[in-house]
Amino acid sequence: MSSGQVTKRVKYKTSVKDAGTPGRLSLVKERLLFRPNNPNSASKLDMQFKYITNHRYTKEGSNKAPMLNLTSNQACRALAPPVEAPNLGASSQVPSEQPSRDDLLFRARLLQDSSELQKLHQQFVGGGVLTEAEFWATRKKLLEKDSNTKSKQRGGLKSSVLGESKPLIDGRTNRVTFNLTPEIVREIFSEKPAVHRAYLNFVPSKVTEKDFWTKYFRAEYLQRSKNIAAAIAEAAEDEELAIFLKPDDILANETRRKIRRVDPTLDMEADQGDDYSHLPDHGILRDGSKEVPEPGNELYRRTLLQDLNRHAAVVLQGTPIDEEQLKDTQTVAEALERSKQERSTASKDDDSMADQERLKGISQAMTIDDLRGSNDHHLAPLWIKDPRDYFDSQQASSFRTSMEATKGSMSSQEAYGLLRESISQIKSMGLNHPIVAPEVAQKVLSVLTHNISSTKYNLGKKPGESLLDSLPTSVRDELLHHHISIEELMKHFWSSYPITTKYLNTKVIKLKDEMSKMDSQLQKLKETVQPDIRHQITLLIRPMQQALEAAMQHYDAEQQKRASKAREKPNGYS
Amino acid sequence: MKFQIEEVTVYFPYDNIYPEQYTYMVELKRALDAKGHCLLEMPTGTGKTIALLSLITSYALAKTESPIKLIYCTRTVHEMEKTLAELKFLHNYQVKHLGAAAKMLAIGLSSRKNLCVNPTVSSAENRDSVDAACRKLTASWVRSMAAENPNQPTCEFYENYDRAAGGAVLPAGVYTLEDLRAFGKEKGWCPYFLARHMVQFANVVVYSYQYLLDPKVAGIISKEMQKESVVVFDEAHNIDNVCIEALSVSVRRQTLEGAIRNISRIENEIDRFKDIDAGRLRAEYNRLVEGLALRGDLSASDAWLANPALPDDILRQAVPGNIRRAEHFLHVLRRLVQYLKVKLDTDKVEKESPVSFVASINSDAGIDQKALKFCYDRLHSLLMTLEITDTDEFLHIQTICDFATLVGTYARGFSIIIEPFDERMPLIPDPVLQLCCHDASLAIKPVFDRFQSVVITSGTLSPIDLYPRLLNFHPVVSRSFKMSLTRDCICPMVLTRGSDQLPVSTKFDMRSDPGVVRNYGKLLVEMVSIVPDGIVCFFVSYSYMDGIINSWNESGILKDIMQHKLVFIETQDVVETTLALDNYRRACDCGRGAVFFSVARGKVAEGIDFDRHYGRLVIMFGVPFQYTESKILRARLEYLRDTFQIKEGDFLTFDALIDVMNIKLTDRNLNQRQAAQCVGRVIRSKADYGMMIFADKRYSRHDKRSKLPGWILSHLRDANLNLSTDMALHIAREFLRKMAQPYEKTGSTTGRKTLLSQEDVEKLGNNGAQEMLY
């Protein structure tokens, strides 16, 4: 409903007998608009609600074609009979838009993309519990095409430096082993374009892959051992090795390009370019305030700090390579090269666009927020690719603690009970020595501290771990599926209230049947699982059952109310 | 909003205004009315710049009969860009509400390096080579040569600009450097010369301090500014240092060696000219006899850096006879360089006054004071005559001539200090001969004399009565404003112990202790996991930062940090640091979050803001070591004591050392002006918030802590004075949670308003500001 309008295919008639003009009727905030399919047609309608004096529509369930008859005080009678859409009364609350061909295709694609959605669709639409339209009505967000195209999200790079992983040094054989995975290769290639270029040029035509990497790591090792003299000596002998040790010329070019487009409000290079007081040897050189720069910036000197900056820049930029492409070095190298070319062709317009955006951002950043009357922030929608993964990692710790507590020798309830007992004892008997029975205090303390220390111990330590993960996969999947199905049912169930039409009534009955089926399934699941995880399962199932129960209760209460009303009515009239 | 301050209608581009801003404007207006100078202190984070800009532009709009020009000076180019961005915002607002009448021309001016659009020139490495490359294409003799020889390369942008002549004007608007470049590219005109030309016509000119204070630059750029100008020095707490630096020169061995090379090259050129065009040298000689050091009508593109001495002190006399001939002049230079070389070859520190120094040059090298004084002009004339364009090659000899001219011109306010090595590294011989200026009022005097109003403003000018004495002027308004905060948006903490309860410190005997390094690391690891967006860390020095990052890397702490945030680091390479900063901001903007490692006295600490989400937490690891024994500082203190009766103690607490410790805190003498300035930079507005952690046990001592600026101290609760990592973590969590809550922006709950609406301002205007606010 982002656009705030309802559209429906209708035929427009000026009188009942009229053949009608096919077109679309849209309902917006203040007016009713009719646009004929044939743009040349003269019959257009644009009527504000306030001019409508009367409206009639065909009764639901009658076999006449549904029709809406509007009367306005401008003496113009407008008739807008909906196209022969089965079952869809003009007043029905179900989404009434007829899906176009595009929409259908789009839905099919969505189903294909997500197996979860497909399962649900099969279960409910296939099982006749919900109609197609109902199913999609609750997923309007998904259907908004632009949000969907934008949300094509790719996982970012990991922040940590993979290539920095320490070499294994075997003291006995004096051998150093480096491990290399496609991910590390990707990192090396994107952070050191010169190595990438060298790889494309030399492998496999000039040197073998193995030799190439041996040389690379030899250079890295020299670099890291800070043995500059040795590095220079080796580089003089081996020109390929020298490539790895030399400062990266591609990077240098890139830097020069980037510095031109840097945010001008922090461009310290420009400051330097404008500073005429610090002509060489002007100004005060040694007043104790400036740090003396370390001498020597030799050719073969690359520092950890530079590497870290470079790494972070690459991570921030993101990778153009998908996970699937991370197979072997060759594919990674080629894929990177391809994407680089693409980028260089596309970058021109991109850059200027990005520049404009940045400049806008700067002027926005300059404004003082709280002085503005209203803040019209544009918020980017939060898009979490895998909500379960995201939230599980946050909840893992709390689940853990509950487990730990149950495993402890005594639950905190029990401990609490003991404490209360002793308090009531004190109340009845007054204070005597000792105030609290030592063994009780001991128990309470140990349980409570155990609880605290285990919480602390587990807090966020193992983000991937949760109660769910401790279950066998088949059970877990089943549980999750049940959970999603129940969620779907609940959504439809609660949105049907208050029941105003017959249609909704039938829907609710169908839903209720499905719910009781679900309830028994849950019960069965609980009974069939292994006894050792039954407790956890019960914990997990309980909220689902509670949700179902609440819905059932509501249904029953409502049913009773209706029945009593129905009984009252004839009484009142008779 | 729109409101009246007396007869002036002020157009302010926001719906609300801070009470500080309003009173600031009232005071500023009084100074403008009185056509006098003023000194205004208002904490950063209260929107000083926009208040200043909107008052002065509105004032200019109101007084159309005597139009005033605004000359706005910033310390750096990036601050200039920020000012222009604010001005743009203001200008849009004014044009929207006033129509075409509010249109004005505002330009930012910078060097060729930042403005050039000629691809071949602008690709040059540094400023000097860009200047030289430009001169190679645009010098008058190159262009006249090109008129005869089509193969002689010229700059098409300059040629187009020159051809358009009077037609080359900028339409009204606000131009940042980028806008100027874009305009230049579009029209095919040289943006640098266009901007320099337009400076005379612009309503607002924004450039850096030096363009007004440094006679070398001011001589060519700011010569023709009208008297009816308002000059603003923003962030002016360091203005005295800029003034003295503008008149100081240091000579090192490399300078002298370079100067000797330069002299030989000039000699060769002279010989060459003698063969082909002896007439030219003779013409120069004749001109010098007539008393003109330079041709009066230098074209803009020929202008080199101007005389290093102040305009009033330059003698309008004929160049003395003994240096009129080129060869003789070269001999003089040779003797001078030789003399300096001998002087530099010393193994003890020497201090001399200019008078005795000049006297000994006269007796030892036979160069009299008048010849010294004319060195600069004579060199300039010679290089012009020889048609030398690669001026970047001649910087060394230029330094020597600057030195000679200054030492020959000024008898007091300067001293010459020769140090055989840096006192902090006594083993590395690196002799320096420094001519240092002690009197900041010298360089700024012409500015006070020339312009109707000079506004000196900053977040920290205390003690405010010291500035008029240092700079030797009489302000008509001198006021200091306090900031009223709506809520406790600053949370300083002193961390003395790590999570293992062992003390942390960067004291010399502890700093390399692995326990301290680990505890510092653990602190950061814990903090990155709970603080959103950006964290800035300051270390005491580059070498310490380098060491600690390497050991964090080895022990895996860095990896833990990177799990939560990206890491960016300041290096000694300005370009790399700029890119790292840019990326740091991007990372904060996109929500990934980042940590920036910086050095307490580095370039970043000096001038980059870490406001809003760019700096939710600032950690100062250790107490930066302050070098107080500098010979130059001692000499300056002596001079101040003798001349202005400023007591050493006064000046040291006020400026516990020139230009040091900037950031949030700093220093053994956490000097008031800098430290406050730095902390101020975490706060952009009253809605902003930030924490700072001082991680060193020495901060818990009262004598160290009391050096922190007052308004940090006022937020530093006793409970936060002696924390361990765990406790700091807890406080940080609580603070962040508190800050995330919605709050009443106007501060009406606390009794005093911290935000005024249109209505409030109108009421204020009627009642008089003072009673309600103070």
Q: Map residue B107 onto helix, strand or coil.
A: strand
Res. B678: pLDDT tops 60 = no
Do residues B86 and B70 make contact, with C-beta atoms less than 8 angstroms apart?
Answer: no
Residue with tokens 């160290």: B704
Distance CA B534, CA B564 (A): 11
Do residues B133 and B391 make contact, with C-beta atoms less than 8 angstroms apart?
Answer: no
Average pLDDT over residues B249-259: 90
| B153 vs A180: which has the higher pLDDT | B153
Residues 6+ positions from B235 with CB-CB distance below 8 Å: B74, B75, B79, B458, B459, B677
Q: Residue B675's pLDDT band (boundaries 50, 70, 90)? A: very low
Do residues B471 and B38 make contact, with C-beta atoms less than 8 angstroms apart?
Answer: no
* A309 contacts B111? CB cut-off 8 A: no
- Which pLDDT belongs to residue A154? 61
Using alpha carbons, select from B639, B759, B624 the residue that is nearest to residue B695.
B624
**Which chain B residues are closer than 8 Å to A304 by Cβ?**
546, 549-550, 553
- Which pLDDT belongs to residue B45? 73
* A269 contacts B583? CB cut-off 8 A: no
Query: How confident is the model over B419-451, as pLDDT tens digits?
Result: 888 776 777 788 889 898 998 899 999 999 999
* B587 contacts A277? CB cut-off 8 A: no
Residues of chain A with pLDDT under 50: 1-3, 74-96, 147-151, 294-299, 394-409, 455-465, 572-574
List the single range of A491-495, B43-47, B82-86, B440-444 with lowest mean pLDDT.
B43-47
Res. B774: pLDDT tops 60 = no
* Cα distances (angstroms) measured from residue B670 to each of B289, B597, B657, B666, B667: 57, 20, 9, 5, 4
CA B8 to chain CA centroid, nearest Å: 32
Do residues B615 and B690 make contact, with C-beta atoms less than 8 angstroms apart?
Answer: yes
Nearest to B434 among A285, A304, A306 (CB): A285
Q: How many CB atoms lie within 10 A of CB B419?
A: 23
Is the peptide bond between A36 and the residue preceding it cis, with omega within 30 degrees of 0? no
Res. B523: pLDDT tops 70 = yes
| B182 vs A185: which has the higher pLDDT | B182
Res. B287: pLDDT tops 70 = yes
Query: How confident is the model over B189-238, as pLDDT tens digits?
Result: 999 999 988 988 899 999 999 889 988 888 877 777 888 899 999 888 88
Q: Encoding tokens for residue A212?
A: 């190439």
Task: Find the residue in A nearest to B667 (Cα).
Answer: A289
Do residues B413 and B343 make contact, with C-beta atoms less than 8 angstroms apart?
Answer: no
Kindly calculate the radius of gyration of chain A based on its CA atoms and give it in whole angstroms: 36
| B60 vs A420: which has the higher pLDDT | B60
Query: How confident is the model over B682-741, as pLDDT tens digits?
Result: 666 777 888 989 898 888 887 767 766 666 777 888 888 999 999 999 999 999 999 888
Res. B272: pLDDT tops 80 = yes
Query: How confident is the model over A28-41, as pLDDT tens digits?
Result: 767 777 777 776 66
Bridge partner list, B538: B598, B620
Using alpha carbons, select from B168, B209, B206 the residue that is nearest to residue B186.
B168
The complex scores an ipTM of: 0.82
List the single range of A559-573, B340-354, B593-607, B690-704 with lowest mean pLDDT.
A559-573
Do residues B699 and B471 make contact, with C-beta atoms less than 8 angstroms apart?
Answer: no
Task: Find the residue in A nearest to B254 (Cα).
Answer: A281
Residues 6+ positions from B391 with CB-CB distance below 8 Å: B128, B131, B132, B135, B304, B383, B398
Phi, psi of A22 (to 5 degrees): -70, 145
* A263 contacts B585? CB cut-off 8 A: yes
Residue with tokens 């005109």: B189
Which of B77, B125, B681 would best serve as a mutation to test chain A binding (most A beta carbons within 10 A)?
Answer: B77
Mean of pLDDT over chain B: 84
Do residues B160 and B188 make contact, with C-beta atoms less than 8 angstroms apart?
Answer: yes
User: Which stretches of B7-101 are DSSP H helices?
Assistant: 19-33, 48-62, 77-98
Res. B135: pLDDT tops 80 = yes
Task: Find the residue in B nearest to A257 (Cα).
Answer: B123
Residues 6+ positions from B177 with CB-CB distance below 8 Å: A264, A270, B77, B80, B81, B108, B110, B114, B115
Task: Compute the nearest-CA separation of B632 from chain A (Å).
Answer: 6
Listing DSSP states for B61-83 in one string gives: HH-TTS--EEEEEESSHHHHHHH
Q: How many CB atoms lie within 10 A of CB B300?
A: 14
- Interchain contact B604–A (C-beta under 8 A): yes
Give contacts of B 441-480 with A, CB under 8 A: none
Nearest to B566 among A263, A306, A312 (CB): A312
Q: Map residue A168 onto helix, strand or coil.
A: strand
The whole-model pTM stands at 0.75
Query: How confident is the model over B461-496, as pLDDT tens digits?
Result: 767 888 898 899 999 999 888 777 778 888 889 999
- Which pLDDT belongs to residue A325? 64
Q: Map residue B258 onto helix, strand or coil.
A: helix
Q: Which amino acid is at B68?
A: I
Residue with tokens 């600053």: B490
Q: How many CB atoms lie within 10 A of CB B207?
A: 24
Distance CA A221, CA B524 (A): 29
| A353 vs B59: which has the higher pLDDT | B59
**Which chain B residues are closer than 8 Å to A372 by Cβ?**
14-16
* A303 contacts B583? CB cut-off 8 A: no
* B88 contacts A294? CB cut-off 8 A: no
- Interchain contact B218–A (C-beta under 8 A): no
Which of B562, B563, B603, B630 would best serve as a mutation to test chain A binding (most A beta carbons within 10 A)?
Answer: B562
Res. B127: pLDDT tops 50 = yes
Q: Encoding tokens for residue A86?
A: 């089965």
Nearest to B16 among A275, A361, A371 (CB): A371
Can you give B534-601 as a three-state secondary structure string?
EEEEEECCHHHHHHHHHHHHHHCHHHHHHHHCEEEECCCCHHHHHHHHHHHHHHHHHCCCEEEEEECC
**Which chain B residues are closer than 8 Å to A362 by Cβ?**
81, 85
Res. B517: pLDDT tops 90 = yes
Nearest to B395 among A280, A308, A367 (CB): A280
Q: Map residue B111 onto helix, strand or coil.
A: coil
Beta strands in B92-149 (DSSP E): 105-108
Instruction: Work out how many CB contacts closer than 8 A connect A with B.
Output: 276
CA A18 to chain CA centroid, nearest Å: 52
